[in-house]
Amino acid sequence: MSTILYQFDPDGDVTFIMERAPKSLPQNLSDLNASLLSKCYVSSQSGLAKPSGLSLHIRASSKHLILASPQFRATFRNGFQEGNELRSAGQIEMPICDWEPVPFLLLMAIFHGQTRLVPHSLCFNWLRDMAVLVDYYQCYEAVAMASDLWTREFGKEAVDNS
């Protein structure tokens, strides 16, 4: 299985592993851009996200995750297995199976201040998936500006299409 590594923090201590990465993702984070992530170009609906034998590893900072999300704060600080492993080993790998790769990638970009990756609009599927992620990770404040932009743009598209 081929692996793509996106490092939001090269010194990060958390590596998320997603086994079903879209084959349309570039090999390097520096080649990724907001337009690629905006309109479901890499969605399951488009057929581009079929299992490709490609694994996406996302290296992140537990400090950024803890600051942005009460869910991560609890996971890494309150005696959960992940927190214990992070403290004892200094790093942790966490498989991510329940989320679509692109919305999760967008969430990590927002948490790590990589605003060039955040599109000005999202398709309905990504908007829905982002809402689920924001609710699960309780990161409303961290995502507020982007979500305001996305819902405003989505509203404009709905009016334009009617």
Give every strand in the sheet of 92-95, ordered side by side: 2-7, 54-60, 14-18, 92-95
Instruction: Give every residue of the chain whose pLDDT is below 50, as ranges.
Output: 42-49, 159, 162
* pLDDT tens-digit readout, 1-13: 799 999 999 999 9
Give residue limits of the domains in the chain: 2-29+53-160
User: What pLDDT does 82 receive?
Assistant: 95
Let me know if domain 2-29+53-160 sits in CATH 3.30.300.180: no
Residue where the block lists tokens 């337009």: 35
Question: Please, which contacts does 105-108 make with residues 24 or more away whose CB atoms are closer than 8 Å?
Answer: 105/6, 105/37, 105/56, 105/58, 106/37, 106/130, 107/133, 107/134, 107/137, 107/139, 107/143, 108/6, 108/8, 108/16, 108/58, 108/60
Which pLDDT value is given to residue 15? Answer: 98
Give the pLDDT score at 77. 85
pLDDT digits (tens, 9 = 90+) for 140-150: 999 999 999 98
Query: What letter does residue 67 receive in the DSSP assignment?
Result: H
Give the pLDDT score at 46. 44
pLDDT computed for residue 159 by the predictor: 46
